[in-house]
Chain A
Amino acid sequence: MKKYSVFAIAREAMRGHKGWEEQWSSPEPKKEYDVIIVGAGGHGLATAYYLATVHGITNVAVLEKGWLGGGNTGRNTTIIRSNYLYDESAGIYDHALKLWDGLSQELNYNVMYSARGVMMLAHNVHDIQVLKRHVHANRLNGIDNEWLTPEQAKEFCPPLNISKDARYPVVGAALQRRGGTARHDAVAWGYARGASARGVHIIQNCEVTGVKRAANGAVTGVDTTRGFIGAKKVGVVAAGHSSVIMNMAGVRMPLESYPLQALVSEPVKPVVPCVIMSNTVHAYISQSDKGELVIGAGTDQYVSYSQTGGLHILQHTLDAICEMFPIFTRMKMLRSWGGIVDVTPDRSPILAKTPVKGLYVNCGWGTGGFKATPGSGHVFAHTIAKDDPHPINAPFTIERFRTGRLIDEAAAAAVAH
């Protein structure tokens, strides 16, 4: 792998950029690998990367039905934060956040992790109680998250409307300064390049159509649109399609897949300096390096694999954005799109071994998976390599739904009384 640097760019500029090598190779699939990862999104590629770099397992194939990074990795609003309430969630998201800081250097690929700060707004007494509970729990967990008055929130984000006459005035905010955004494509491409350079096969346009198991139940490989590919270990990292793949192995999952929409505005000069989220008015916004306002919406209400959603969902989202930022009504929506998010009953992921020997699953990230990408890949690689979960992902089992040991961040936010 030739190193990227400003000097490499200068060198290539002299010869018309003809000397760049392929960022990843496009090999034909082999008959068998040590590990197959199903899904070349950020989490899958990160898993392959860490299998190679941390565990020395390089005989790995990442199978992708479309193009790498083309699922939720390339469709999300790239918010990164770790200010979760429960120790289990804080553990995995902060593990990821620590990896984000330094990921560009680790991958030699600028993923543009931008610690711009993530500010979550409180609009009523109940919000204050919930957000302060987070602030205090985060502090004792060593995770930065601080409480701001409305005036301090406005100082941090000048276009924010803190008028007391707003329908839901801002009454405070929790700010995680280490939170921010990153460039989604670069994350997928950087991991792909790093994994490919170490011998991992990234096989695009290769859809898994079946999971093969031996008489003793153990996994033996997968059927694909490009033929059978053997492996004793298969990691399913298929986001919205996870339950489809797991069904092929005979495992029914506590998952439902919903459309999630997002949109960007036309690019303008810098105006929103951080990420703003509000659960009460229900929207979130940041501004990309390119100047586009990046805006997230809620999910549609029904199970769907269509990657589209209703206009009314975008409407509610923009209502909320213009409530927080009344100056934006003259801005224009440039592009909107949908992804498919897989949601568990407690809104926390499943990152675990499964009842099937050799089959591992990493799914259920719902609307929040991007931020976990490095951490998720790191501990999932450990789980596959050691056939045993890393302490950080040990709580994220499938069995928790039987025992009731849920990790329910959403329930902890409760509902207004």
Chain B
Amino acid sequence: MLLIRCPYCEEERPELEFRNAGEAHIARSTNIAGESDDDFEKFFFIRSNPKGVIYERWRHMHGCARFFNAVRDTVTDKFIMTYKAGEPKPAKLPGASK
């Protein structure tokens, strides 16, 4: 069971309180009705599924109920950081050598 830091509650809580909500930073177009089939496919179906660092969404379902973003290594399942929904994708990760 993972231990996840909720950036709103500012504490680590067990995974049972959270629900994963898939890949982060996939914006819904403000003109979604006008998108091409290809663009809609990219938006709704295509996923990075990285072996390594993933940017993903979680919801503190049984806590503050807020959605937030996390950076996690999918090989070790270790969290690198979490941040609030709406904040930009971090340019530099803590502990990253480059």
Contacts and interface: CB of A to CB of B under 8 A. Distances in A.
Interface string B41-68: 1101111111100101000000000000
Contacts of B38: 402
B49 A243 contact: yes
Interface stretch (A66-74, A80-88, A228-236, A306-314): A306-314
B51 A308 contact: no
A305 interface: yes
Contacts of B75: 305-306
B47 A304 contact: no
Contacts of A311: 1
Interface string A284-311: 0000000000000000011111101011
- What is the interface of chain A mostly: helix, strand, loop, or mixed? loop
B19 to A, nearest CB: 7
Interface in A387-417: 401-403
B16 interface: yes
Contacts, number: 66
Given A254-B45, A257-B49, A312-B15, A302 B20 contact: yes
A127 interface: no
Interface residues of B, number: 28
Contacts of B9: none
A254 B74 contact: no
A67 to B, nearest CB: 19
Given A303-B74, A306-B75, A256 B37 contact: no
Nearest to B15: A310
B37 A304 contact: no
B76 interface: yes
Interface centre among B19, B22, B48, B51 (most CB of A within 10 A): B51
Given A301-B20, A312-B1, A402-B38, A345 B51 contact: no
Given A244-B51, A301-B19, A311-B1, A401 B56 contact: no
A348 to B, nearest CB: 13
B77 interface: yes
A253 interface: yes
A283 interface: no
Nearest to A312: B1
B2 interface: yes
A253 B74 CA distance: 17
B74 to A, nearest CB: 5
Contacts of B15: 310, 312
A14 B20 CA distance: 60
A196 to B, nearest CB: 29
A308 B20 contact: no
A133 interface: no
A255 interface: yes
A401 B76 contact: no
Nearest to A243: B49
A252 B51 contact: no
A302 B18 CA distance: 11
Nearest to A344: B45
Given A257-B49, A401-B41, A304 B77 contact: yes
Contacts of A253: 46-47, 49
Q: Which 9 A-B pairs have the closest CB atoms?
A: A254-B45, A243-B49, A401-B45, A301-B20, A310-B1, A402-B41, A302-B20, A305-B51, A252-B46
Interface of B: 1-2, 15-16, 19-20, 22-23, 37-38, 40-42, 44-51, 54, 56, 72, 74-77
22 contacts: A244-B51, A254-B41, A254-B47, A255-B47, A256-B23, A256-B47, A301-B20, A302-B56, A303-B50, A303-B54, A303-B56, A305-B51, A306-B77, A308-B77, A311-B1, A312-B1, A401-B41, A401-B44, A401-B45, A402-B37, A402-B40, A402-B41
Given A312-B1, A312-B16, A345-B45, 16 more contacts: A244-B49, A252-B46, A252-B47, A253-B46, A254-B41, A301-B19, A301-B20, A302-B2, A302-B20, A303-B54, A306-B74, A306-B77, A308-B77, A310-B15, A401-B41, A402-B41
